[in-house]
Amino acid sequence: MDQTGNRENRANRESPPTENPLLQKIAKGILYIFLIAVAIIQVLPLYWLFLFSLKSNQEVFNLPPLALPQDPQWENYARVWTQGNIGQYFFNSVFITASAVILTVLFASLVTFAITRMRWKLNKLVLGLFMVGLMIPVHSTLIPLFNFFLNINLMDHPLAIILTYTAFNLPITIMILLGFYYTLPREIEEAAIMDGCSVHRMFFRIIFPMTAPVVATTAIINMIYNWNEFVFVNTFISSDRFKTLTVGIQNFIGQYSTDWGAIGATLMISILPILIAFILLSNSIVEGITSGSVKG
C-alpha cells in the first residue's frame, strides 16, 4: 500500500500540470486579434494608395485620406499608360531588374561555390573582400561611378545601371548563399567526380539546382531593391527612353501643377509586380532563409 501510494505521488509530481482550456482559448484569441491588427496595419497603406490613385487633385486635398472618391478617376491608369509613357518605363524596369537579378544570382553562386566547395589559398581573402562591400555606403560611390561611366561612354545607358546593381548586390547575395552551401554534403560531389563529371558540369547540373530555395530568396530580395531603386537611375540616366518607373513618376510633377492622381496610379502599377512576385514566392523565401540555419 505504501509503495503504491509512493508511486502515485511520484507520478503526480513528475507529470506536468494540465493547462486551463479557457486560458488557452483566451491566449489564442488575443494572439489572433494582435495578428489581425498587424495585418490591417500592413494592408492599410496599399488601400490608401489605391484610393489615392482614383481621386482628382481636388479630392486629394479636400477629402479625408481614407475616404472613398466621389467620382473614381479610372482614367488615371489609362492616362499614365498612354500619355505618361509608363509603358516604356515599365518595360525598362522589367528589363533592368531581370538582367541585374540574373547576373547577380549567377555570379554570386559561382563565387560561393568556389569559396565553400573548392580548396585554394586565397578563398578567405576573396570572401573578406566581398564582405567589405557591405560596409561601403551606396551614395559615396555616385561621383566615382559617374566619372567611370563617363570615361567609358556608358552614361545614359542601361548597362551602367545593370552593372551597378550587380556589383552592389553581390555581397549580400553571397552572404545569404554561404550558409546553404556549407550544408551541402560533399559525398554528392565525390560521387560526381568518380563518374567523370567536370567542375563546371557539377555546378550547373548538380549543385546549382540543389540551391533553388535559397536562389529564390536572393532573387526576390535583389528584385525588390532593383525595382525600387531611384538614386542611380536618376544620376546615370538622362534620356526618357531608358528611365524606369521610379524616375518616370517625376513627369507628372510640374513647376506650377502636379497630377496627384496620375502619380498614385503610377505608384500602384509599380507596386503590383513586386507584390505578386512576393506572394507567389513567399514559401520559397521562407524555405531559403531557414534552410541554411540547420546542418545535417
Asked whether the beta carbons of 169 and 225 are under 8 A apart, the reply is yes
Asked whether the beta carbons of 112 and 174 are under 8 A apart, the reply is yes
Asked whether the beta carbons of 240 and 118 are under 8 A apart, the reply is no
25 contacts: CB under 8 Å, gap ≥ 6 = none
Does 153 lie in the same domain as 108? yes
Closest among 217, 204, 226 to 290, alpha carbons compared: 217
Does 25 lie in the same domain as 120? no
Closest among 176, 178, 182 to 295, alpha carbons compared: 182
Helix (H, G, I), strand (E, B) or coil at 42: helix
Asked whether the beta carbons of 55 and 260 are under 8 A apart, the reply is yes
The C-alpha cell that represents 271 in the structure block: 507596386
Does 137 lie in the same domain as 27? no
Query: Does 116 reside within a domain?
Result: yes
Q: Which domain holds residue 267?
A: 84-291
The residue to which cell 494608395 is assigned: 49
Does 267 lie in the same domain as 132? yes
Query: Does 54 reside within a domain?
Result: yes
Residue 238 burial (CB count, 10 A): 11
Residue 268 burial (CB count, 10 A): 19
Does 133 lie in the same domain as 54? no
Provide the pLDDT for residue 295: 46
Give per-residue pLDDT as tens, 185-242.
888 888 888 888 888 888 888 888 888 888 888 988 899 899 988 899 989 998 888 9
Does 95 lie in the same domain as 64? no
Helix 212-228 vs helix 158-183: crossing angle, to nearest 10: 150
Query: Does 157 reside within a domain?
Result: yes
Query: Does 220 reside within a domain?
Result: yes
Does 175 lie in the same domain as 36? no
Query: How many domains in the chain?
Result: 2
Provide the pLDDT for residue 296: 44
Mean pLDDT per 10-residue interval, the chain, length 296 residues: 54 57 86 92 89 87 84 85 82 94 94 87 87 85 92 92 94 90 84 83 87 87 90 89 85 68 85 81 64 49
Helix 123-132 vs helix 158-183: crossing angle, to nearest 10: 130
Buried b (16+ CB within 10 A) or exposed e, 192-226: beeeeeeeeebbeeebbeebebbbbbbbbbbbebb
Query: Does 241 reside within a domain?
Result: yes
Query: Does 67 reside within a domain?
Result: yes
Does 257 lie in the same domain as 152? yes
Does 130 lie in the same domain as 266? yes
Q: Tell me the sheet residues that pair with 93.
A: none
Q: What letter would DSSP give residue 134?
A: G
Does 202 lie in the same domain as 63? no
Does 208 lie in the same domain as 136? yes
Give per-residue pLDDT as tens, 94-110.
999 999 999 999 999 99
Residue 291 burial (CB count, 10 A): 15
Provide the pLDDT for residue 99: 96
Provide the pLDDT for residue 36: 93
Provide the pLDDT for residue 179: 84
Helix 260-291 vs helix 158-183: crossing angle, to nearest 10: 30
45 contacts: CB under 8 Å, gap ≥ 6 = none
Query: Does 145 reside within a domain?
Result: yes
Instruction: Say if pTM beats, i.e. exceeds, 0.85.
Output: no
Does 268 lie in the same domain as 194? yes
Domain of 150, CATH number, reads 1.10.3720.10
Q: Tell me the sheet residues that pair with 258.
A: 253
Query: Does 15 reside within a domain?
Result: no
Q: Tell me the sheet residues that pair with 253.
A: 258
